[in-house]
Amino acid sequence: MSNAWGRNVLVLTFTAICVIAMAQEKTQERPLGGKGNSEGKVTSDSRETVKGRLPRYFASLVNSEQRIEIYLIQAKFRDQISELKQQLEELESKQMRNIEAVLTPAQREKLFDFRNSSRKKQSREANAGERRNPTEASHDSPNQTSSISNK
């Protein structure tokens, strides 16, 4: 009797695994570079290839057709936005170089030292955070109780 029960459990488990595997969505993303048509209409190809992220608060408002249209709009602007972000980074870098050019050599040396000490401090804090055991109480706050009593 126990052999039949074990076989039934095995068949049921195998069936459940197969059903779960078939129910999962394909999560493979394909690039959208120009896949949408020029009129902005949703096609069957675009439905299969579109992936994205809805803006905040939109998920409960839009239907599946609107969701796909939003993803297509995001894909259309993605390259342009990334190019503009790159330009912004370049402009900010150029601005900082021009600002630093105003400084005297001694001031630039101090600025370099400030930046290095800040980087070293951040590095030490990051390393200390990794080494700290999360189960141990840290001694950062004076409100924490100590395991050693004062006599």
Looking at the 3D structure of the chain, how many domains does it have?
Answer: 1
Confidence of residue 50 (pLDDT cuts 50, 70, 90): confident
CA distance to 53, 77, 98, 110, 111, per residue, from 56 (Å): 9, 18, 38, 44, 40
Give the tokens for residue 83: 């190019």
Give the tokens for residue 52: 């994205």
Note every long-range contact of 13-17, with CB atoms under 8 Å and residues 24 or more positions apart, other chains counting: none
CB of 58 closer than 8 Å to CB of 70: yes
pLDDT greater than 80 at residue 139 = no
Domain-embedded: residue 23: no
Q: What average pLDDT does the chain have?
A: 78
Domain-embedded: residue 103: yes
Domain-embedded: residue 110: yes
Domain-embedded: residue 5: no
The per-residue pLDDT for range 12-34, each reduced to its tens digit, is 888 888 778 777 644 333 444 44
How far apart, in whole angstroms, are the C-alpha atoms of residue 21 and residue 26?
A: 10
Mean pLDDT, rounded, for 57-74: 93
pLDDT for 38 equals: 45
Domain-embedded: residue 65: yes
| Helix segments in 59-104, DSSP class H | 64-102
Q: What global pTM score does this model have?
A: 0.45
Confidence of residue 37 (pLDDT cuts 50, 70, 90): very low
Domain-embedded: residue 79: yes
Domain-embedded: residue 105: yes
Domain-embedded: residue 87: yes
Question: Which range marks the domain in which residue 69 is found?
Answer: 29-124
